[in-house]
Structure 1
Amino acid sequence: MDAALLLLADSRLPAGGHAHSGGLETAAATGVVHDLATLAAFLRGRLATTGLVMAGLAAAACAYAHECAGSEGDGPPGDAVPVRPGARARTAAWAGWVRLDAEADARTPAPAQRRASRAQGRALLRVARGLWPGSVLDLLTGAAGGPHQPIVLGAAVAAAGGAPVRAAQIAAYGSVTGPASAAVRLLGLDPLGVHRVLAGLTAHVDHVAAEAAESVRVGDLPAVSAPALDVFAELHDRADLRLFES
């Protein structure tokens, strides 16, 4: 993986990811996750559901960003829209981003998760525009409420010169590393043990990323669900005391 893309996979990237637990805070509060074994089960489930969806969206956004950069405004992945110059090209390109954002919305049924995704998307977009200025990332600033995080991630990977599979890898990787880091802080788990759990998931992360990168057409995006994570998100949103934003 190119060094530029490692920046996007780094938890130290100042995009606010450290403030979100991916449902782990509620899972810990309810006793669903309480040790390394239950953390491993939680992460496997999250990777196979939310992780796959995020990876698919990121890969599709990356592919579309490359299309926009190369043809000045094709339609969304898999659609045939004529190339149009100037403002009309931007309008055509924007329609594709709107459609991808709507696909992300449809795959994020919990309102609390939608808000968290858009908050992270806004933060990541601010960082990405500073690192890799360009018209595609500038266009995403027009999304109402801010674009979803995996959409921005895919566009940022494209801006950094990465391929859709790299966007999928970073999204899948982030879907487990964020909650794993939260588990250390919330449960006081041994960091070495937590990283052994993550090491055991690396092959699964690669598999999910490869599967996601094969489905960059809008109509083929993965749409698996995780109802427990949706419930956790809403419970967390209503909690009086919490360490994380989500």
Structure 2
Amino acid sequence: MLHDALNAADGAIRLLQLLHLADSALPIGGQAHSFGLETLTATTLVTPLNLETALGDYLEEAGTVDAVFCRGGYRLAEGPPGATFADGWYRLNATRAALQPARESREASTALARRFLSLAQELTGHPLLAQALDVARQQAIPLQHAATVGLVGGALSLGEDATVLAYLQQSMAALASAAQRLLPVGQHQMAAILWRLKPRMAALAQASRTAHWQQGGFTSFAPLLEVAGMRHPRLPVRLFIS
């Protein structure tokens, strides 16, 4: 009975830790980025009428890739440390960065990843996270947010599926927050949109189980999103860094 109680308490703590790290208000700078959404709203390609469709499309394309790389980070944390880890950590992040041609969006992901990993290491003191930070500095790794969230989830044994779902939820919540500042969309309307996107998040997480970032098995085609990210620096007025 005591053993069951301890397991239950440990599971509750891990759930609380995951909720903490998945909070869109986590102080890593997520509120400063729109990942091209600002350009799409400025050019009226995204409006309150098609916002739900746009967010769903973003989830299907960028979310599909990120779910795979988030799992890659989680599984890397479960593998042996040392040179094997350093090499895998570099290739995981570099590959995800290479799949993101828009410079602003790529650098935004790196900034979020660096802050997230630093905060997680500070909060937990986990040696693997400290090693990941050291390797990133020494090899100038272009850290990517999805891979970093996965690594932290794996290091803390937060559950692979749960970590992927938490990442997708965090990402969409951050985009929803950006949309509310860019468009006349109310809180209740946005809450309803995010609620309706939940089944698609779950389906993406489920599909990512059978894909591997090195072996393929996933696709993403989002030229409009990438072009929007590339054009963002030339907007006459900007609220967001990306």
TM over 0.5: yes
The amino acid across from 1:30 in the alignment is T
- Bigger CA drift: 191-200 or 97-106? 97-106
Measured at CA, do residues 165 and 220 of structure 1 come closer, stay the same or move farther in structure 2, by a change above 3 Å?
Answer: farther
Q: Secondary structure at the match of 2:224?
A: helix
Identity %: 31
Distance, in Å, in 1 between the alignment partners of 2:37 and 2:180 is 10
CA shift, 1:182, in A, is 0.8
For 1:185, give the aligned amino acid: R
Match of 1:234 in 2: 230
Name the CA shift for 1:140/1:225 in 2 (closer, same or farther; >3 Å).
Answer: farther
Q: CA deviation at 1:216?
A: 4.0
Q: Distance in 2 between matches of 1:56 and 1:104?
A: 10
1:64 to 76, 91, 94: 76
User: Paired residue for 2:28?
Assistant: 15
2:37 pairs, out of 24, 28, 35, with 24
- What residue in structure 2 maps to residue 194 of structure 1? 190
Partner of 2:161: 165
Cα distance in 2 for residues equivalent to 1:139 and 1:222: 29
Secondary structure, in 3 states, of the residue corresponding to 2:163? helix
Note the C-alpha offset of 1:215: 2.1
What is the distance in 2 between the residues matched to 1:107 and 1:146? 12
Out of 39, 52, 60, the residue aligned to residue 40 of structure 1 is 52
- Structure 1 unaligned spans of 5+: 74-89
Runs of 4+ in 1 over 6 A off after TM superposition: none
The residue type paired with residue 30 of structure 2 is: G
Give the drift of 1:146. Answer: 4.5
Q: 1:179, 1:25 → 2: CA distance?
A: 10
1:48 is aligned with what amino acid? Answer: E
C-alpha root-mean-square deviation of aligned residues, in Å? 1.7
**Which secondary structure does the structure 2 equivalent of 1:45 belong to?**
helix
Match of 2:101 among 92, 101, 109: 109
Counterpart-to-counterpart distance in 2, 1:131 and 1:24 = 31
Which residue does 2:118 correspond to in 1?
126
Contact 1:20–1:245, Cα closer than 8 Å, also in 2:
yes
Q: Structure 2 CA distance, aligned partners of 1:137 and 1:194?
A: 34
CA distance in 2, matches of 1:207, 1:173: 13
Q: 1:218: how far off?
A: 2.5
User: Structure 1 236/145 Cα, relative in aligned 2: closer, same or farther at 3 Å?
Assistant: farther
1:99 aligns with 2:63: no
Query: How far off its partner does 1:137 sit?
Result: 1.3
Confirm or deny that 1:204 pairs with 2:216: no
Q: Hey, what does 2:6 align to over in structure 1? A: none
Aligned position for 1:77: none
Aligned to 2:16: 3
Q: Deviations over 1:17-63 (max 9, x none)?
A: 1111132211110101221x311011110000001111110111111
Compared with structure 1, are the counterparts of its residues 230 and 113 closer, same or farther at alpha carbon in structure 2 (3 Å cutoff)? same
Q: Structure 2 stretches of 5 or more lacking a match?
A: 1-13
